[in-house]
Structure 1
Amino acid sequence: MEDEQRRISDCCASLHEHIQKWKKLNASGVRVANDLINLKLQTDYVDGAESWGSLSNVKDLPGRVIAKLQDDVEKKYEELKIIFEALREVHQKMGSLSRNVRAVSQLMWISNGEEASSKPLFHTMTACQFSKRFEQLYDIYTHELAVKETIIGAIPDEQNRDTLTLYISTWLHEPYIDESSIILLESMLIETGLKKT
């Protein structure tokens, strides 16, 4: 039982680390997406400006400004895609942890029978309960990653200011990651003794 406890505890610690990394990446993504959208809006504004003056040296200014802004937009978009890929990597690691915990739970059931696998590993939670919670958290982050992927795909073609603002807000507030996901993680950390109450 000590080996299973150690494995579950290690997986909980790793999951906590991955979620903290996700939070940092998400904050970076919000910053970059905000910059990207502001640049897109500036490009539209400059492109839509009708009067740039009658001086000859000012007439080609809008074209130069637009080219520079479009270049900046592309750079920010690439930066956002890199952040998204880092989030995907974190998500994959969460999936590996979920599979590892499920494997521990199944091995306990196979080697010790149903009675042994229904005993708490630490205080109150069984290996099966840990497995279910890992799976729930993995599913939550799977949905959130899908939302971010949709946003990444939609930003380049979107011109509407309100829709772009909605994308930033959705990225920031992560609608699938709610209080229940925090409680799931906290309960496992407390159960394993990784966090004190």
Structure 2
Amino acid sequence: MEGSARKIKDNAADWHNLLLRWERLNENGFNVAANIVNLRLSQSDQRQLLEESFSPSSPLSARTGAAAELQNECCKLQEIIDKMVTVVTKMQNLVTSQQGIQDLEDFQFGPKGRTFPLFHTWNMKQFELSFVTLWKSFSQELKLKQTILQELAHTGTSDLCMVYLSCWLYQPFIPHQVRLTLEALLLETGHRPL
């Protein structure tokens, strides 16, 4: 296998590896986000208990310790988001690579493309469409996760915290169809047996 077929097959393997990395980062990020929510809710509970008991505010060292712990967890989540940005940037590079392959194929075979498929059934446009679909979904999900990062430690209600955690865990911008697209890409390129 050489030329366009080799490059597309390599890109499909890269997509699979990036998805696995994303899933690992998502799981780690969820655990850190849950820690942030737990810290935030425990701070809110402590504040409420202090207000109800009419005692002066808690000792400064306890408040700064909790704030430092919360800041540390937020920094961990920022590091995870930064790694997710790297993953999405690599996905964008794969889209650019596929568009380059498409341009080369158009130059070699004209606007109608090859008369035979590179692998099983897909033409070049289907590869490009699948790459763009995957990238757009992960880009949108990254934006959501960046918003969650900005809001999570400042959220006052437990209900909203749970919504943020649910959004992080269930990834609404990466529907099941996206995973099917990747599996179809892997099947088409021979990474998965038919």
CA contact (8 A) 1:144 1:175 kept: yes
Residue in 2 aligned with 1:168?
A: 165
Distance in 2 between residues matched to 1:137 and 1:17, nearest whole Å = 13
Matched, 1:85 2:82: yes
Where does 1:9-88 land on structure 2 (aligned, <5 Å)? 9-50=9-50, 62-88=59-85
State TM-score, norm by structure 1: 0.91
Distance in 2 between residues matched to 1:139 and 1:86, nearest whole Å = 17
Distance in 1 between residues matched to 2:41 and 2:114, nearest whole Å = 58
More helix per residue? 1
Matched residue of 2:180: which SS?
helix
Deviations 1:50-99 (A, max 9, x none): 37799xxxx78643322211110000001001100100100000000011
Residue in 2 aligned with 1:98?
A: 95
State TM-score, norm by structure 2: 0.92
The aligned length equals 193
Percent identity of equivalent pairs: 27
Q: 1:111 to 1:44 in 2, by over 3 A?
A: same
Distance in 2 between residues matched to 1:52 and 1:118, nearest whole Å = 80
CA drift of 1:3 comes to 0.8
CA contact (8 A) 2:37 2:153 kept: no
CA contact (8 A) 1:144 1:176 kept: yes
Distance in 2 between residues matched to 1:79 and 1:5, nearest whole Å = 40
CA contact (8 A) 2:91 2:135 kept: yes
CA contact (8 A) 1:12 1:189 kept: yes
Residue 36 of structure 2 aligns with an amino acid whose one-letter code is: L
Structure 2's unaligned 5+ residue stretches are none
Q: Of the two structures, which has the highest relative contact order with CA contacts closer than 8 Å and spacing of 6 or more?
A: 2
The CA RMSD measured in Å over matched residues stands at 1.9
Matched, 1:111 2:111: no
CA drift of 1:138 comes to 0.4
Residue 135 of structure 1 aligns with an amino acid whose one-letter code is: V
Of 111-120 and 31-40, deviating more is 111-120
Distance in 2 between residues matched to 1:116 and 1:34, nearest whole Å = 50
Residue in 1 aligned with 2:151?
A: 154
